[in-house]
Amino acid sequence: MREIVFDTETTGFSFADGDRMVEIGCLEMVNRVETGRTFHAYFHPERSMPPEAQRVHGLSDAFLADKPLFPHLVDDLLDFIGDSPLVAHNASFDFGFLNGELKRCGRTTVAMERMVDTVAMARMRHPGAKHSLDALCSRYGIDRSHRTLHGALLDAQLLAQVYVELTGGRQIGLVLVSEAVEESEVMAPVAPTVVRAPRVFAVSDADRARHAAFLKTVVNPLWGSDHTM
C-alpha cells in the first residue's frame, strides 16, 4: 500500500486568518517502508514572516524572497501525492493549509477521508502521555539530534519512523522474500538425511517352544473355544 507522509511549515496557525504555507515536505512509503522518493518545496507566502513563526522554522523573508508561488509547483505536488492516503502529525492543521492553498489557486481540495492523523493514533495507543513529535521520538528511541529547527522534510522523515512504530513497529527477523529471488539465495543448503536400515527381530525356536508350553497351562482359554463376547 502506498502512503505519503508529509509536513508543512507556515507563517502562523490559521489559513483563514491570512497565514500561508511556506514549505512542504513529503515522502513516499510502500507497505510502511520508505522508498526514497520525496517531494520538497519552499513557497513565497506573499506576506511577511512573523518573528514568532521564524523562530520555529528559521525561514525568513529574505530566504523566501526568490521562492516560487504555490501555484507554480502545484502540479508537481499533486502528481507526487496522487490519490494515496496522507499521513501527518496533527493532520487537521496540515490539511487546512494544503487545502487552503489548493482552493486559493482553483484546484480540487484533498478529501478528508484520506487523512491519517498520528496524533490521534498516539492518543489511543498512549493515553495520558505526551504526543508531540519530539516526545514520540524519545519514546521510540528515534534519533532527532540533527533537528535544531522545524523543517518540513526533516519532520516528515522523523514522522515516518514514528508512524511505523505506531502501527506495530518493524518486525525484526520477519523477512518477506520476493518470488523472483532464487531459493539458493535465501536458504542454506540442507544436509541429506541418513536413513538407518530397519532392525530385524526374529523369534527363535526356543522362544516358540516356551510360548507353546505356557499356553498349555492356561485353564479354559478363550481362544479355540466357542465362547463369544
Q: For residue 52, is it within any domain?
A: yes
For residue 110, give every residue at least 6 positions away whose Cβ sits within 8 Å of its Cβ, in sequence order, or none.
81, 86, 95, 98, 99, 102
Q: For residue 84, is it within any domain?
A: yes
Query: 129: which 3 cell numbers?
Result: 502521555
pLDDT at 206: 83
The yes-or-no answer on residue 57 being catalytic is: no
Query: 14: which 3 cell numbers?
Result: 490559521
Q: What's the CATH number where 82 sits?
A: 3.30.420.10
**Amino acid present at 155:** D
- 176-210 core/surface letters (b: 16 or more CB in 10 A; e: else): eeeeeeeeeeeeeeeeeeeeeeeeeeeeeeeeeee
Instruction: Give tens-digit pLDDT for 111-139.
Output: 999 999 999 999 999 999 999 999 999 99
How many C-beta neighbours within 10 Å does residue 28 have?
A: 20
Q: Residue 88: enclosing H or E segment and its boundaries?
A: strand 86-88
Q: What is the mean pLDDT of residues 82-92?
A: 97
Range of the domain at 109: 2-166
**What domain count does the chain have?**
1
Shortest CA distance to 158 belongs to which of 178, 142, 138?
142
CA pair distance 64, 42, nearest whole angstrom: 7
Most confidently predicted of 101-110, 149-158, 163-172: 101-110
Q: For residue 138, is it within any domain?
A: yes
Interhelix angle 152-166/118-125, nearest 10 degrees: 40
Q: For residue 203, is it within any domain?
A: no
Q: For residue 132, is it within any domain?
A: yes
Q: For residue 210, is it within any domain?
A: no
Q: What is the mean pLDDT of residues 61-71?
A: 98
Model confidence pTM above 0.85: no
State yes or no: pLDDT of 203 exceeds 80: no
Choose the catalytic residue: 131, 150, 211, 227. 150
Q: For residue 187, is it within any domain?
A: no
Q: What is the mean pLDDT of residues 55-68?
A: 97
Give the pLDDT band of residue 210 (cuts 50, 70, 90).
confident
